[in-house]
Amino acid sequence: MSEFRTGLGYDKHPLVPGNQLVLGGISIDYFKSLAGHSDGDVLLHALVDALLGGAALGDIGTFFPDTDPRWGGIASQFFLEEAVHKLKAKKFEIVFIDGIILAEKPKLAPYFPRMKEKIAEIARISLDRISIKAKTGEKMDSVGQENAMASFVAATLRLD
C-alpha cells in the first residue's frame, strides 16, 4: 500500500534594487531583485524544502549551505533538480505541489503558467500536479512594504 507524506517549505529574501528578479525558475521584468547567496528564488527554495521535508531528508541548507562559494549566484533550478534526484533515489513520487508567493508587487498571476511549466519540466510531473498562488502583504510588514518576498509550499509525496 502506498504511503503519502506532506512536506512544508518556507523561504523569504530581501528585495533590493536590480533587474534580476527570478521566481519559480523564470526571469521577471522588474526593477528590483531578490538578494541571496543564490538567485534568491523564494518559490524554488520553499519548494526544495517542501520536497526534502516530505522525504525527511533535511532542508536546502543541509545540501547547499550558503557558506559554500560553489552555490554563489547559482540558478536555484539546480537545487530543485538535485532534490528531485534525491527523492527519486528514495523511491518518492511527487503527487502534488501547492505554493504561495507573498509579494506586494508586481502582479504575478500572468507568470504562473511559465513557472508551472518550468517546475513541471524539472520535477518531471504533469502541469495539473502544480498549483501556484500569490498574496500581497496588504501594505504591512516587509512584504507589504515591498522590502521582501516570501513563499510557502506544501508538497505531497507518495512512497510505494
Beta pairing, strands 92-102 & 130-135: parallel
Q: How many CA atoms lie within 13 A of 140 on its CB side?
A: 3
From 32, 45, 116, 118, residue interacting with Mg ion (rule: CB under 5 A): 45
Nearest-angstrom CA–CA distance, 90 and 147: 38
Judging by beta carbons within 10 Å of its beta carbon (0-12, 13-18, 19+), is residue 126 exposed, middle or buried?
exposed
Asked whether the beta carbons of 152 and 83 are under 8 A apart, the reply is no
- Residue 11-40 contact track with Mg ion, rule CB under 5 A, x = bound: x-----------------------------
Residue 45 or 116 with smaller CB distance to Mg ion: 45
Closest to Mg ion by CB, 32 or 45:
45
From 7-15, 96-104, 111-119, 132-140, give the range in contact with Mg ion by CB under 5 A: 7-15
Q: Which of 99, 66, 60, 65 has its CA nearest to residue 82?
A: 60
Q: Which is nearer to Mg ion, 39 or 104 (CB)?
A: 39
The nearest distance, CB 76 to Mg ion, in angstroms, is 8
Nearer to Mg ion, 11 or 59 (CB): 11
- Binding residues (CB under 5 A) for Mg ion: these are 11, 45
